[in-house]
Amino acid sequence: MPAQRVVAYIRAMKLHVLLHSRGLVLWALLVGLLPNVVAQTLESTNLPVLVINTDGQPIPDEPKIMARLGVNWSPDDSLNSFQGPFNHYDGWAGIEIRGSSSQLFPKKGYALELRTEVGADFNFPLLGMPAESDWVLHGPYSDKSLMRNALAYWIAGQVMQWAPRTRFCELIINGDYRGAYLVVEKIKRGPARVPVSKLQPDEVNGDALTGGYILKIDKKEGAEVGGWWSPHPPPMSSGQRIFFQYHYPKPSVISLPQQMYIQEAVAQWEEALLAPDFDDTLAGWRQYMDESTLIDFFLVNEMAKNVDAYRLSTFFYKDRDSKDPRFFMGPVWDFNLAFGNADYCDMGSTAGWVAATFNSVCSDDSWLVPFWWNRLFADQHFMRRVARRWRALRQGVLRDELLHSCIDSLAQLLAQAQKRNFERFPVLDHYVWPNNYVGGSYGAELTYLKNWLWARLAWMDQQLALFEQPPYVAEDYFDPWVAPNPSAGQFVFHYYVRQTEQVRAYIYDRLGRRVALWQDDAHDNGAHSYEWHGALAPGIYFYALFFNSELRTTGKLAIIR
């Protein structure tokens, strides 16, 4: 049968989804229909199988083209066939190549949009994740552990309000086995993703105008780019500025009043950071940015020592003022070059803060870290809260045994797929930009990842412990005192102590009988006060204040009505 008649027959019978069975793939190789297929044994796998057929069209950078998508997935953990028929999804999708520098690799990343036959968005709970139409197919290539993004998003999911959910899979495109991929939720507005209010183009007044928005700092490559330049240059730059991009609403949709509003809101946040009283816990920058999300965003990125953090792949969002007038930092994105997988700008080292030192180490880079983070490092209240949050996480969801278990679980999940992946892309003993380490085997890559992470955690444990306590300055010491005195039964103890000193106050009546005892909770070094609300009758009382077992001061209290 002539080749063109074979193709016509297959199309007519809609058997293109079946070309991925082993027999038909080998047959197609013989007749020259699938010249790029790697002749591997593809029977079944523990991972979901995604099969994409573009009917011979090359997949472009943009725009998306229509394709058929078939998915085999058994949620009961039984094996999944590389062959059709497909038991989870069998329908249409739009697909395009995504990424920037990663597009140079033979293993591409893709943006996937589930569609109806006429091209409309189709929401579907792909691989058990909340129903949506937009997904990312991340193809780890320089990351030879195959799991850096999966690990980072799992960590972020334990720590942050929302992080992209993921599922590993194996991918076939037009009969070509493409290796192990990670299906990732795309960052977009929605109740199961970034939960900001929907903003229509005609909502240009009142509370509706104030949200929701999602902004990003990133390279300009993409289907739509629009935004504005910050007037404030990053530290160490020579004329460089930060470009804020509209992520939601899209640049083609966001109206001029909405653009003006969100630009002014970001300007207020930046100006508050630059103000002399920026670190005032009430009047400073915290009016404009949620501190807890800043802290978690910082810790997740620094834990991975993400070379792209803060300056690329950086998102923040704002809902309507009636819900919360502040910005929120996140979600996190893109950790392919994190966890010691970059050999430039000192990113292979397990020491050093990306936020504080990147611009000085890599001042000639085309994308520098905004000035925000230098100012936040200068805010002692912020860094102290960072340190305390880190200690709580390290004692909880980020303790060593849970992280170790997560990596081992991901490795077990990938045990068979990684073999097929590296048969298709034999890079384990080759340098792939920007590898900081070439192990020669999958096991060596996992060992490197683990050892790097444990060293990084130890460094952060040590460094953040230094921030957790303000210094004790002997010159700032003052003798304890009480005010107001006389009072109507409410008075305040003022004192300056070390963290290690337990503070106790005894109150006696005129006959020397103890009528009250107050003992301080855990405290920092420095000045403190305690407001005492007693139920004492009017009269004269005496107090004695002890630091540990040392009597520090005594005095008289007068309670009047």
Q: What is the pLDDT of residue 39?
A: 52
Same domain, 126 and 230: no
65 or 523, which is more confident?
65
93 to 70, 106, 127, 336, 459: CA distances (angstroms): 10, 22, 15, 25, 45
> Among 448, 468, 488, where does a domain finish?
468
Same domain, 122 and 173: yes
pLDDT at 12 over 60: no
Same domain, 372 and 321: yes
510 to 49, 504, 516, 534: CA distances (angstroms): 83, 20, 13, 16
Instruction: Express each pLDDT in 318-359 by its tens digit.
Output: 999 999 999 999 999 999 999 999 999 999 999 999 999 999
Q: What is the pLDDT of residue 133?
A: 98
Q: Is residue 320 part of a domain?
A: yes
Q: What's the pLDDT band for 291 if we cut at 50, 70, 90? A: very high
pLDDT at 21 over 60: no
Q: What is the pLDDT of residue 223?
A: 67
Among 316, 318, 94, smallest CA distance to 218 is for: 316
> Among 123, 151, 185, where does a domain finish?
185
Q: Is residue 344 part of a domain?
A: yes
Q: What is the pLDDT of residue 522?
A: 77
Cα–Cα distance measured from residue 497 to residue 517, given in angstroms and rounded to the nearest whole number: 19
Structural tokens at position 548: 């540990």
- If you count them, how many residues does the chain have? 561
Q: What's the pLDDT band for 472 if we cut at 50, 70, 90? A: confident
Same domain, 297 and 366: yes
Cα–Cα distance measured from residue 8 to residue 1, given in angstroms and rounded to the nearest whole number: 11
Helix (H) or strand (E) holding 293: helix 291-304
Q: Is residue 414 part of a domain?
A: no
Cα–Cα distance measured from residue 103 to residue 97, given in angstroms and rounded to the nearest whole number: 8
534 or 150, which is more confident?
150
Same domain, 239 and 292: yes
Q: What is the pLDDT of residue 102?
A: 79
Same domain, 102 and 164: yes
Q: Is residue 412 part of a domain?
A: no
Same domain, 236 and 95: no
Q: Is residue 289 part of a domain?
A: yes
Q: What is the pLDDT of residue 38?
A: 45
Q: What's the pLDDT band for 65 if we cut at 50, 70, 90? A: very high
Cα–Cα distance measured from residue 249 to residue 189, given in angstroms and rounded to the nearest whole number: 9
Among 395, 164, 391, 186, smallest CA distance to 295 is for: 391
Same domain, 152 and 222: no
Q: Please give the tally of structural domains in the chain.
A: 3
Q: What is the pLDDT of residue 32?
A: 31
Same domain, 135 and 213: no
Instruction: Express each pLDDT in 353-410 by its tens digit.
Output: 999 999 999 999 999 999 999 999 999 999 999 999 999 999 999 999 999 999 999 9
Same domain, 43 and 161: yes
4 or 334, which is more confident?
334
What CATH number has the domain bearing residue 511? 2.60.40.1930
Same domain, 25 and 168: yes
> Among 426, 448, 468, where does a domain finish?
468
pLDDT at 10 over 80: no
pLDDT at 232 over 70: yes
- Asked if residues 178 and 171 have their Cβ atoms less than 8 Å apart, the reply is yes
Same domain, 283 and 377: yes
> What distance lies between CA 155 and its chain's CA centroid?
8
Instruction: Express each pLDDT in 150-197 by its tens digit.
Output: 999 999 999 999 999 999 999 999 999 999 999 999 999 999 999 999
Instruction: Express each pLDDT in 485-524 by its tens digit.
Output: 998 888 899 999 998 899 999 999 999 999 999 888 878 8
Q: Is residue 163 part of a domain?
A: yes
Structural tokens at position 252: 């083609």
Q: Is residue 407 part of a domain?
A: no
pLDDT at 541 over 50: yes
Least confident of 57-61, 225-229, 465-469, 552-556: 465-469
Taking only Cα atoms into account, the Rg of the chain, rounded to an integer number of angstroms, comes to 30
Q: Is residue 421 part of a domain?
A: no
Structural domain boundaries enclosing 521: 474-559
